[in-house]
């Protein structure tokens, strides 16, 4: 069975003390993380080491970076490279979150570079894709997302793509309280899986984890995650509240 993943995205929230308190509360909850169930915490850079320390005895829980540079090293003030992440044992990194695309002008081509660098360091990218409202209103979301996948991922070999996690996040559902319906999520996830199958074959497509993101909460996670092609969620706001995120972890298949 492909991995079922609950991924928290703290974005630019919490002080170190607040973050440690939140994480401690979540990891002390009593849930079963079987071989196929994983939890990621995408945490601000300054806390990656301290939070890794907190979860080091836990299986199937992984501290994740929210971003990385598209450059390897050198005179890029303020940037964080994938080799820096690897040197502190980070094995997962969000790539192409819509906020990065929108506020930091990250194009599909730049994201392809980030994906390559992550994979070269054996860091699994959590590649985010998803359409804005105008595209959804024009009913061209399938083509839009397909182009994002093609331009940032489809140069990869079959062996490389196996290490990529995909997060479908319709921009109109992020932080808005307006979730895609479970059916809308399923429809897009099935589309993404079929596009991957066309490119890499059914076996790889079947084993690719595709997460849904956009206003996932404790109260709607079970319904969304129950869809056959939804393999968990990437969660912003609700991941900042321990009880909510614990409920979301418990909703994984
Ligand atoms: P949200 O954010 O859960 O607050 O909508 C999701 C995300 O941006 O990853």
For ligand 1, is residue 216 a contact (CB within 6 Å)? yes
CA of 174 from ligand 1 middle (Å) equals 5
Statement: residue 165 has pLDDT above 90:
yes
Mean pLDDT within 88-105: 97
Mean pLDDT within 47-67: 96
Q: Which domains does the chain have, with CATH numbers?
A: 4-250 (3.20.20.70)
Report the relative pairing of strands 124-129 and 92-95 from DSSP bridges.
parallel
Report the relative pairing of strands 165-168 and 124-129 from DSSP bridges.
parallel
Q: Are 82 and 92 in contact (CB under 8 A)?
A: no
Mean pLDDT within 119-143: 96
pTM: 0.97
For ligand 1, is residue 174 a contact (CB within 6 Å)? yes
**pLDDT for position 151:** 98
What's the pLDDT band for 112 if we cut at 50, 70, 90? very high
What's the pLDDT band for 237 if we cut at 50, 70, 90? very high
Ligand 1, pocket-test mutation among 172, 237, 239, 247, most atoms within 8 A of CB: 237
List b or e across 122-144, with b for residues whose CB sees 16 or more CB atoms inside 10 angstroms.
ebbbbbbbbbeeebbeeeebbeb
CA of 173 from ligand 1 middle (Å) equals 8
For ligand 1, is residue 215 a contact (CB within 6 Å)? yes
What's the pLDDT band for 86 if we cut at 50, 70, 90? very high
How long, in residues, is the chain? 253
**CA–CA separation, 88 and 205 (whole Å):** 31
**pLDDT for position 180:** 86
Catalytic residues: 97, 169
Mean pLDDT within 12-34: 93
Statement: residue 235 has pLDDT above 90:
yes
What's the pLDDT band for 31 if we cut at 50, 70, 90? confident
Residue nearest to atom 3 of ligand 1 (CA): 236
**pLDDT for position 32:** 75
CA of 146 from ligand 1 middle (Å) equals 21
CA of 75 from ligand 1 middle (Å) equals 32
Statement: residue 174 has pLDDT above 90:
no
For ligand 1, is residue 201 a contact (CB within 6 Å)? no
40 φ, ψ (degrees, to nearest 5): -115, 145
Mean pLDDT within 23-47: 92
Mean pLDDT within 82-110: 98
CA of 36 from ligand 1 middle (Å) equals 23
**CA–CA separation, 201 and 135 (whole Å):** 28
Maximum Cα–Cα distance for the chain, whole Å?
48
- Minimum-distance ligand 1 atom for the alpha carbon of 215: 5
What's the pLDDT band for 52 if we cut at 50, 70, 90? very high
High-pLDDT (> 70) share of the chain, % = 100
What's the pLDDT band for 177 if we cut at 50, 70, 90? confident
């Amino acid at each position: 069975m492909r991995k079922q993943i609950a991924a928290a995205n703290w974005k630019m929230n919490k002080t170190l003390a607040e973050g440690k308190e939140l994480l401690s509360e979540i990891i002390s909850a009593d849930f079963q993380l079987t071989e196929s169930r994983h939890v990621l915490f995408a945490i601000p850079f300054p806390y990656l080491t301290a939070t890794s320390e907190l979860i080091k005895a836990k299986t199937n829980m992984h501290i994740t970076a929210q971003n990385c540079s598209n450059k390897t090293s050198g005179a890029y003030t303020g940037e964080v490279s994938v080799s820096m992440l690897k040197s502190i044992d980070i094995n997962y990194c969000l790539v192409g979150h819509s906020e990065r695309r929108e506020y930091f002008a990250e194009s599909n081509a730049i994201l392809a570079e980030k994906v390559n660098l992550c994979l070269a360091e054996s860091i699994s990218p959590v590649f985010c894709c998803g359409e804005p409202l105008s595209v959804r209103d024009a009913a061209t979301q399938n083509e839009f997302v397909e182009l994002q996948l093609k331009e940032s991922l489809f140069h990869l070999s079959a062996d490389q793509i196996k290490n990529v996690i995909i997060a479908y996040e319709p921009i109109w559902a992020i932080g808005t309280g307006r979730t895609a319906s479970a059916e809308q999520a399923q429809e897009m996830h099935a589309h993404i899986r079929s596009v991957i199958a066309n490119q890499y074959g059914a076996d790889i497509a079947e084993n690719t984890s595709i997460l849904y993101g956009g206003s996932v909460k404790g109260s709607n996670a079970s319904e969304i995650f129950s869809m056959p092609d939804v393999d968990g969620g990437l969660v912003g706001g609700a991941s900042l509240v321990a009880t909510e995120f614990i409920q979301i972890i418990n909703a994984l298949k």
